[in-house]
Structure 1
Amino acid sequence: MSSAQRSAERPLYRDNARLPVRRAGIDTYRQPVLYLHRDCLVSCAEGFAALTRVKVECGDRDVVALLNIVTGDWLSKDEAALSDAAWRVLAPKAGAIASFSHAEPPESASALRAKVFGKRLGEAEFESILRDALASRLSDIELAAFVTTCAGDRMDLDESVALTRAMVSVGERIDWGTGPVLDKHCVGGLPGNRTTPIVVPIVAALGHRIPKTSSRAITSPAGTADVMATMTEVDLEIDVLRTVVDREGGCMASGGNMHLSPADDILIQIERPLDLDSDGQMVASILSKKVAAGCTHVLIDIPVGSTAKVRTMAAAEAIARRLAFVGEAVGLRVGVLMSDGKQPVGRGIGPALEAHDVLEVLRNSPQAPGDLRERALDVAGAVLELLPGIPRGSGRIQAAGVLASGAALRKFMAICAAQGGFREPGTAHFVEPVIARADGRVGCINNRQLARIAKLAGAPLNATAGVVCSLREGDLVQRGMPLFHVHAGSRGELDYALDYANTHLDALSLRSEPS
């Protein structure tokens, strides 16, 4: 075949490295991905290989995408396909043609490489990395390298301050004007510890501002936003959130739509599959969102237990020191409450199940879980005592009075009404117990195992799924009685969770009673 014939067979847009684009229908989460056939002329001409960073331009938009090579026949050699993440950025019209070229190295590449080799980074260097991450100019592989180099003891206190400030600078920031703005946060790892929907209305009912934004669950069976979503609207824009707080003094919303420290959301999603818990990044994550939300006084709850996120008091004290140092540097008054993390709080583990516990406490029901009530009052008291002029111990007394009087419930309902209306949380279609196989007493409760069972049952995606456990350490158990109940939205999910639970009965380990 002559060169003229070969040229005639090529698409007209080949010489300019251009191809029509279509949607691949593949969810790659936040990573934009480009798909080209292995015989694609553009790919061959440009020297693209798998995992090449390719700049894709379509109309007046562009994105840097990671190339995946297609060896099957679902994509022709004369077209390109885009992952959902890339498609959202480019938003191409029907029949659109895109151009492709090698992407320039991201501006932050030198800073990232320097951190890999142990150099300390400053605020400008962290900000460069985060801006490139937000613009999808860094691949997940590069971000994983960054997260790893910041883990363990490889980030000092000054770097935590620099990273916190950088996280704030690349996102939105709310200004509430003068006066104290309160908040609280739990570092997590303790199933059912859903104090926020009780603390916020208590504090707001006392006339203080507490604009609480929370995340959806990342690795747990429920986050505060998931729990609140079973009772009211949580996906609020910033202007709506302002209206709610101006009207009621507090809110309980998801931070996902507000772009408060958005770079942190990206880093969290990278940390999750790596299962890395870095004190430096965790502190920057927590405090950057508090600064961005306009808070001035923040209470951090650190549950400590052998199967909690923070396992030793020494580890908790190290986190507390870092929180205090970074908080002071970024203008926050930070208080720390170290709490018992040996076992779950409340009975429910899962969005709707935890919501039922919350409502029982707010409604002063005789059946309300006492440990959740007491924990919420401890946290609310500690939040109030961050304010000037509130002596130690009096905050909890104020909180208990507001809860007992019904003022906290009224404020909770008012906040829900302002956010879009209140609804009762639902219940699961399928519920079955996990039965004790012997007599004994509960020796210890494995928080991680119970959380795992709740997730296998469908939580948090199925809001009514999860686990209900009323037993606590030291409780007497007789053979044949329920250890806990599994709630699920389908028979298949229920069976899946029960199968795991019955082969991992160490979720509640029993010790034999002396004869």
Structure 2
Amino acid sequence: MLKIRPVAIDTYPENTAFLPRSDGGYGAEQFQALRKIEICHASNTILATLAIMDDKHLLRPGEIGLGEQAFRRLGLPAGTEVSISQAMPPASLDGVRRKIRGDTLDDAEIASIIRDISRFRYSPMEIAAFLVACAAFMTTQETLALTRAMADVGGKLKWSSPLVVDKHCIGGIPGNRTSMIVVPIVAAHGLIIPKTSSRAITSPSGTADTMEVLANVDISAERMQEIVAKENAVLAWGGRVKLSPADDVLISVERPLRIDTFEQMVASIMSKKLAAGSTHLVIDIPVGPTAKVRNQTEAVRLRKLFEYVASKVGIVVDVVLTDGSQPIGRGVGPVLEARDVMAVLRNDPGAPADLRDRAVMLAGRVLDFDPQLKGGEGHVRAAELLASGAALAAMERLIAAQGPQGVTARPGAFEHEVIAPIDGKVGAIDCHLIARIARLAGAPMEKGAGIDLLCKVGDAIGKGEPLYRIHATSQTGLDFARELAASSSGYDVTA
């Protein structure tokens, strides 16, 4: 028996345990055999990767150290006695090996793999093997099975209303923060729209990151229920309520490998909507040369896959193909995007028209789910709710209910303007590159970091005039972003 001791080391997403090399009577060969161990106390059990410590001052004799993730997931107080044993490889790995060989897995095999992944029984290498095998070949039935399996292993939200609407964009377009405008419009109309969003992984900001500039997004399921009952909506971080937690584990390995197949994308999105209790969903698929979906043929294939899975899991979907040729709005990064969102909601004359128009269009598509509205009336109703100030009032109530931030966040004070090399016109903007520059500046971890776009496609520009302004909260972040922008600005200016 060993006493657990928390070790302040972030080993996300893995569970990691630490043992001293010379304690406990183990030899080096035994340590090697116990590379992955099972840690148990009554019904509390986790699997953890074992790390050997040679510093005798970090752990006392008879202690086992647990990294931050392992300590939190085990859920026991420091000093609790636990037993350790060698962890047997998950039986579901046989299914992964079959998938690597090119076989098609049945629903039970996929469900078993996802259960073990959600319980952190897989190493990142094993998860990567599963993802790469699925990226090589995956049937629509396997995509459906993956969706159901991921929805089943986590928490689920239930709502009293038979009509629970939602809106989701597949991402890839900087500044496309339409959800924060759609949600208050729909809430002001009276439909239930409990919007749970992820934090950014490879983008400069996610909806949760941007909303966090204005209000608390770390909300429990119980508090979400209370807010929705009163305000018809919520704009919260989905990680708190553990919707489709296996998806978060998969994403942590998927993103560094830049694996983002349509099948895995559909399973990821639809599993979270199913777990969130959505009944009707508008899906925004931006299509453009530097977007996730590059052409109409790809867009149609993705739309059909969404429609197939949605029909099987009981969610009504409306898939909208939108212009993904350039960033939306002016701000890229949490503070700058929140500024644009509030400008639209306040009907400011200088608010970005492209952000406003897209948000109103998507809100209209959501409102068209309302059986009380005649077909096609949704867009008119959405525009009315925005123009009248009803959407702004709904957003202000939502911020108050979730808990407003006490400090007003501002754009980073370290600035650099990227200028046009010649006189001409902006012919194209590379969405992927703009996102990378904003992230190097510090977004989304640094809320004030990002890019202020001063020109859009079609705008005339003079040599030496600014194309965009980089904001950072440190000189280091600014230098990183400037270096990439100097090698390639992301703007194509033609004479």
Q: Is the 8 A contact 1:212 1:253 kept in 2?
A: yes
Question: Does the residue aligned with 1:131 lie in a helix, a strand or coil?
Answer: helix
Q: Is the 8 A contact 1:19 1:80 kept in 2?
A: yes
**CA distance, structure 1, for counterparts of residue 106 and residue 314 of structure 2:** 18
Question: Does the residue aligned with 1:174 lie in a helix, a strand or coil?
Answer: coil
Question: Does the residue aligned with 1:48 lie in a helix, a strand or coil?
Answer: helix
Match of 2:427 in 1: 443
AA at the equivalent of 2:236: A
**CA distance, structure 2, for counterparts of residue 460 and residue 323 of structure 1:** 29
- Residue deviations 1:222-252, cap 9 Å, x none? 0000111001111111111111111111111
Match of 1:357 in 2: 340
Match of 1:460 in 2: 444
**CA distance, structure 2, for counterparts of residue 90 and residue 291 of structure 1:** 27
**CA distance, structure 1, for counterparts of residue 299 and residue 26 of structure 2:** 52
AA at the equivalent of 1:273: P
* Aligned positions of 1:339-488 closer than 5 A: 339-388=322-371, 390-421=373-404, 424-488=408-472
Q: 1:474 to 1:419 in 2, by over 3 A?
A: same
Q: TM-score normalised to the size of structure 1? A: 0.90
**CA distance, structure 2, for counterparts of residue 236 and residue 80 of structure 1:** 32
2:122 matched to 1:138?
yes
AA at the equivalent of 1:158: Q
**CA distance, structure 1, for counterparts of residue 215 and residue 178 of structure 2:** 17
Match of 1:9 in 2: none
* Structure 2 unaligned residues grouped into runs of 5+: none
**CA distance, structure 1, for counterparts of residue 316 and residue 356 of structure 2:** 26
**CA distance, structure 1, for counterparts of residue 15 and residue 25 of structure 2:** 19
**CA distance, structure 2, for counterparts of residue 371 and residue 499 of structure 1:** 29
Work out which of the residue numbers 182, 191, 196 in structure 1 matches 2:174.
191
AA at the equivalent of 1:26: I
Work out which of the residue numbers 304, 326, 338 in structure 1 matches 2:321.
338
AA at the equivalent of 1:233: N
Aligned length: 493
Work out which of the residue numbers 165, 186, 191 in structure 1 matches 2:148.
165
Match of 1:200 in 2: 183
Work out which of the residue numbers 88, 99, 102 in structure 2 matches 1:115.
99
Q: Is the 8 A contact 2:197 2:237 kept in 1?
A: yes
* Aligned positions of 1:18-33 closer than 5 A: 22-33=5-16
**CA distance, structure 2, for counterparts of residue 49 and residue 188 of structure 1:** 43
* Structure 1 unaligned residues grouped into runs of 5+: 1-17
Q: 1:496 to 1:105 in 2, by over 3 A?
A: closer
Question: Does the residue aligned with 2:239 lie in a helix, a strand or coil?
Answer: coil
- The Cα of 1:32 is off from its aligned counterpart by 1.1
**CA distance, structure 2, for counterparts of residue 307 and residue 71 of structure 1:** 49
Match of 1:13 in 2: none
Q: TM-score normalised to the size of structure 2? A: 0.93
Q: Is the 8 A contact 2:420 2:465 kept in 1?
A: yes
**Range that drifts further, 194-203 or 158-167:** 158-167
Work out which of the residue numbers 250, 253, 257 in structure 2 matches 1:267.
250
- The Cα of 1:61 is off from its aligned counterpart by 3.5
Match of 2:18 in 1: 35
Q: Is the 8 A contact 2:411 2:472 kept in 1?
A: no
Q: Is the 8 A contact 2:161 2:192 kept in 1?
A: no
- The Cα of 1:454 is off from its aligned counterpart by 0.8
- The Cα of 1:182 is off from its aligned counterpart by 0.7
AA at the equivalent of 1:364: N
Q: Is the 8 A contact 2:59 2:65 kept in 1?
A: no
**CA distance, structure 1, for counterparts of residue 375 and residue 138 of structure 2:** 34
Q: 1:314 to 1:74 in 2, by over 3 A?
A: farther
Q: Is the 8 A contact 1:192 1:346 kept in 2?
A: yes
Q: Is the 8 A contact 2:213 2:405 kept in 1?
A: no
2:457 matched to 1:490?
no
2:194 matched to 1:211?
yes
Question: Does the residue aligned with 2:135 lie in a helix, a strand or coil?
Answer: coil
- The Cα of 1:388 is off from its aligned counterpart by 3.9
AA at the equivalent of 2:49: L
AA at the equivalent of 2:449: A
**CA distance, structure 2, for counterparts of residue 120 and residue 390 of structure 1:** 44
AA at the equivalent of 1:218: I
**Range that drifts further, 368-377 or 114-123:** 114-123
Q: Is the 8 A contact 1:302 1:337 kept in 2?
A: yes
* Aligned positions of 1:495-510 closer than 5 A: 495-505=479-489, 507-510=490-493
Match of 2:278 in 1: 295
- The Cα of 1:21 is off from its aligned counterpart by 5.2
- The Cα of 1:420 is off from its aligned counterpart by 1.7
**CA distance, structure 2, for counterparts of residue 309 and residue 51 of structure 1:** 42
- The Cα of 1:62 is off from its aligned counterpart by 3.1
AA at the equivalent of 2:208: A
**CA distance, structure 2, for counterparts of residue 34 and residue 25 of structure 1:** 12
- The Cα of 1:361 is off from its aligned counterpart by 0.4
**CA distance, structure 1, for counterparts of residue 74 and residue 162 of structure 2:** 43
Q: 1:89 to 1:173 in 2, by over 3 A?
A: closer
Question: Does the residue aligned with 1:510 lie in a helix, a strand or coil?
Answer: strand
Q: Is the 8 A contact 2:3 2:78 kept in 1?
A: no
**Range that drifts further, 97-106 or 298-307:** 97-106
Q: 1:308 to 1:51 in 2, by over 3 A?
A: farther
Identity %: 46
Match of 2:223 in 1: 240
Q: Is the 8 A contact 1:37 1:71 kept in 2?
A: yes
Q: Is the 8 A contact 1:432 1:487 kept in 2?
A: yes
Match of 1:101 in 2: 85
AA at the equivalent of 1:226: D
**Range that drifts further, 490-499 or 422-431:** 422-431
- The Cα of 1:90 is off from its aligned counterpart by 3.7
Question: Does the residue aligned with 1:244 lie in a helix, a strand or coil?
Answer: helix
Work out which of the residue numbers 207, 231, 251 in structure 1 matches 2:234.
251
Work out which of the residue numbers 58, 64, 68 in structure 1 matches 2:51.
68
- The Cα of 1:43 is off from its aligned counterpart by 4.2
**Range that drifts further, 241-250 or 103-112:** 103-112
AA at the equivalent of 1:442: V
**Range that drifts further, 422-431 or 286-295:** 422-431
AA at the equivalent of 1:409: L
Q: Is the 8 A contact 2:184 2:395 kept in 1?
A: yes
Cα RMSD (Å) of the superposition?
2.3
**CA distance, structure 2, for counterparts of residue 178 and residue 23 of structure 1:** 43
Q: 1:487 to 1:118 in 2, by over 3 A?
A: same
Q: Is the 8 A contact 1:355 1:425 kept in 2?
A: no
Q: Is the 8 A contact 1:200 1:212 kept in 2?
A: yes
AA at the equivalent of 1:460: P
